[in-house]
């Protein structure tokens, strides 16, 4: 499976609770924090919901 690196680039302050929970589910805690995930439909859906707060790159 392919892997992707997700980095939080914008703050979750003043964001809807649903977006904050999505960032937590991805494992992101603060700005410039990065995590790696396997690509699957669930992760892709989460990325689409918060794509304005994160940066995604292939590993």
pLDDT digits (tens, 9 = 90+) for 9-34: 999 999 999 999 999 999 999 999 99
For residue 1, pLDDT over 90 is answered with no
Residue 9 pLDDT: 98
For residue 59, pLDDT over 90 is answered with yes
Residue 29 pLDDT: 96
- DSSP letters for the chain: --EEEEEE-S--TTS-HHHHHHHHHHT--STT-EEEEE--HHHHHHHHHTTTTEEEEE-
Closest CA to 59 of 28, 38, 44, 30: 38
Domains and CATH numbers, the chain: 3-58 (3.30.1390.20)
């Amino acid at each position: 499976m392919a892997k992707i690196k997700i980095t939080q680039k914008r703050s979750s302050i003043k964001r809807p609770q649903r977006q904050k929970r999505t960032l937590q589910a991805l494992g992101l805690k603060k700005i410039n924090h990065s995590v790696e995930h396997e690509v699957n439909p669930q992760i892709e859906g989460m990325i689409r919901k918060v794509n304005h707060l994160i940066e995604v790159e292939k590993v």
